[in-house]
Amino acid sequence: MTKFLDGKLALVTGASRGIGAATAEALAAAGAHVVLTARTAGDLEAVEERIHAAGGSATIAPLDLTERESIARLAQAIGERWQALDVLVLNAAMLGTLTPVAQIDGKEFNKVLTLNVLAQQALIAAFDPLLRRSVAGRLIALTSSVGSAARAYWGPYSASKAALEMLVSSYGQEVENISSVRVALVNPAATRTQMRALAYPGEDPASLKDPSVAADAIAGLLREDFATGHRLSLS
């Protein structure tokens, strides 16, 4: 892969494993310095080590995205060290329990919405100034087919992804005529991840594509001059 992101700064959430980790490695391979965020420092360090071993550059930033103050502190720290943020990948999310809508546990539903929606808005708010300072700021949010098509028992996760899509798309329209920031949605579809295993415990993992496939698609998207509203589905 050519270094088309050389000199660029990228932030990837949920970067400790799965699609997030693979995306961080792909962006680093393309030349970006990647800031890795997730709750587990040890897992982030493992991803960082792989990036460095491959000749890339990365910084880990362990934090809980459900704590809005932590997001604000991260944005401040990044703003003090770098002039702009070129790529923001909103990948972190939780599935929650697959259950009938009438039986949704309110406490767990709140957790799903807090991470999958409220934290994403906090990230956009905190990093909007840095994205606007980029020559070509790019925000990519990971979504799901259930965000646009209802599926029985997937109510909480489906609702959160539908909300995320509208939130991100609204932001994209708000900034497209007053900045160089462009926004896209990526649906990785069936991928060999921990979340997929939770949703489909009887599924053969070998039948699913590796997270690197989604990561390469995201990196490839960043090579293009896509317009806000662009949607990429790997189904």
CA angle in degrees (0–180, nearest 5) for 28-190-107: 90
Instruction: Assess whether 157 carries a catalytic annotation.
Output: yes
What phi and psi, each to the nearest 5 degrees, are found at residue 184? -140, 155
Alpha helices (H) in the chain, listed in sequence order: 18-29, 41-53, 68-81, 106-113, 119-133, 155-175, 194-199, 211-221
Pairwise CA distance, residues 122 & 19, whole Å:
21
Q: Under a CB-based contact definition with an 8 Å cutoff, are residues 34 and 58 in contact?
A: yes
Interatomic CA distance for residues 95 and 117, integer angstroms = 12
Catalytic residue among 153, 157, 171, 200: 157
Active site amino acids: 157
